[in-house]
């Protein structure tokens, strides 16, 4: 864990229009995530957890405000640039694994490497390393339907880390798993954070899962309710001051 800022949200707001009604999810949200943080975001349904994760991951854009990644505003990137940015920096882990059903574990893990210029040998090595790390080297030829939920989520984790991204975004990664399997998955995420220095942002409903993170934020009605020493919910004034300095 370092104090080097990786992400900074500055006065971010997000609004949706549903029919004639405009719904505000966040107003003036500020947040700093440092490199090497393992942040869990909890909150009731509809609090905007997943929306926040999507914005951090560059799949959604704020209505106002700025999201800085390594001091670069990602909301200004075009769709194509965001795709490249995600491919280079971000790994995603979803609640329902979202594996390609027609590809075996090995090929699912290899998918992000299709976006990189690597030799087939380099790809194979990366895939094997990722699968070994999640303990599924012996299941590499299995199709998703031949794997348990926990194993599928491990494949999804391997897919997320195979291209060695800086960031992992996890949306309810244990939401579909039993406690024992969930614990295994969370231990793997913890390992990736502590031993490999990955910055992880995890959205969860589960307080037990949140305990694995180094920081737990509660999001309710567009406001963070808790914070700890490494991940900071900053005031607008602090944010502006930091930006100008």
Partner 1 sequence: MNNAYLVFKNLTRNKLRLFLNSFAILIAFLLFGFLGSLQNAFDSGVELSADDRLMVVNKINFTQPLPIAYVNKIKAIEGVKDVTHANWFGGYYQDPRQQAMTFAVDAESYLRVYDNLVLDEKSQKDWLSNQQGMIVGERMATSYGWSVGDRIPLSSNIFSQTNGSNTWDLTISGIFKPSNPQTDTNFILIHYKYFNETQKWGGNRIGWLPITTLDPSLNQSVADAIDKQFANSSAETETSTESQFNKAFLEQLGDIGFIISGVVVAGFFTILLVVGTSMAQNVSERTGEIAVLKTLGFTSKRIFGLILSESLLLALFGGLLGLFFAGFFVTGASQEPQLKNILPNLIMSQDIVLRSLAYMLILGFVTGFIPAWRAMQLNIIDAFNKN
The smaller minimum CB distance to partner 1, of residues 32 and 53, is found at 53
The smaller minimum CB distance to partner 1, of residues 4 and 18, is found at 18
Distances (CA, A) of 118 to 125, 160, 183, 196, 212: 11, 17, 34, 22, 34
| Exposure letters 154-170 (e unless 16+ CB within 10 A, then b) | bbbbbbbbbbebbbbbb
Least CB distance to partner 1 at residue 11 (A): 22
Least CB distance to partner 1 at residue 236 (A): 27
Least CB distance to partner 1 at residue 60 (A): 6
Q: How far apart are alpha carbons 116 and 87 in whole angstroms?
A: 8
Least CB distance to partner 1 at residue 106 (A): 9
| Ramachandran category for residue 85: left, alpha or beta (phi over 0 → left; psi -120 to 50 → alpha) | alpha
Binding site for partner 1 (CB under 8 A): 54, 57, 59-60, 79-80, 83-88, 90, 92, 94, 98, 100-103, 107, 110-112, 114-115, 123, 159
Number of neighbouring beta carbons within 10 Å of residue 178: 11
The smaller minimum CB distance to partner 1, of residues 20 and 80, is found at 80
Is the Cβ–Cβ distance between 145 and 14 less than 8 Å? no
What is the side-by-side strand order in the sheet with 72-73?
A: 21-34, 5-18, 64-69, 72-73
Q: How far apart are alpha carbons 160 and 130 in whole angstroms?
A: 9
Q: How far apart are alpha carbons 174 and 40 in whole angstroms?
A: 13
**Tokens describing residue 91:** 């790994």
The smaller minimum CB distance to partner 1, of residues 31 and 53, is found at 53
Least CB distance to partner 1 at residue 12 (A): 16
Least CB distance to partner 1 at residue 232 (A): 27
The smaller minimum CB distance to partner 1, of residues 22 and 226, is found at 22
Least CB distance to partner 1 at residue 65 (A): 18
The smaller minimum CB distance to partner 1, of residues 37 and 110, is found at 110
Q: How far is CA 90 from the centre of its chain?
A: 7
Closest CA to 91 of 32, 14, 147, 171: 171
The smaller minimum CB distance to partner 1, of residues 60 and 166, is found at 60
């Amino acid at each position: 864990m370092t104090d080097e800022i990786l992400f900074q949200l500055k006065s971010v707001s997000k609004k949706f229009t549903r029919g004639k009604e405009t719904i505000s999810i966040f107003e003036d949200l500020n947040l700093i995530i440092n490199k090497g943080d393992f942040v869990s975001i909890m909150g009731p349904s509809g609090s905007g957890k997943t929306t926040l994760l999507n914005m951090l991951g560059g799949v959604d854009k704020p209505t106002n405000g700025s999201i800085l990644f390594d001091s670069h505003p990602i909301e200004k990137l075009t769709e194509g640039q965001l795709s490249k940015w995600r491919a280079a920096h971000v790994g995603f882990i979803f609640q329902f694994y979202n594996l390609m059903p027609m590809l075996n574990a090995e090929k699912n893990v290899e998918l992000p490497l299709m976006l990189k210029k690597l030799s087939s040998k380099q790809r194979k090595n990366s895939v094997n390393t990722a699968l070994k790390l999640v303990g599924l080297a012996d299941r590499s030829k299995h199709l998703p339907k031949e794997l348990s939920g926990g194993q599928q989520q491990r494949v999804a984790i391997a897919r997320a880390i195979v291209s060695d991204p800086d960031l992992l975004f996890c949306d309810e990664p244990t939401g579909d798993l039993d406690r024992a399997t969930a614990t295994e998955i969370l231990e793997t995420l913890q390992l990736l954070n502590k031993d490999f220095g990955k910055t992880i942002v995890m959205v969860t409903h589960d307080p037990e899962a949140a305990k694995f993170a180094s920081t737990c934020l509660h999001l309710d009605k567009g406001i963070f309710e808790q914070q700890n020493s490494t991940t900071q919910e900053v005031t607008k004034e602090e944010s502006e001051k930091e930006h100008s300095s």
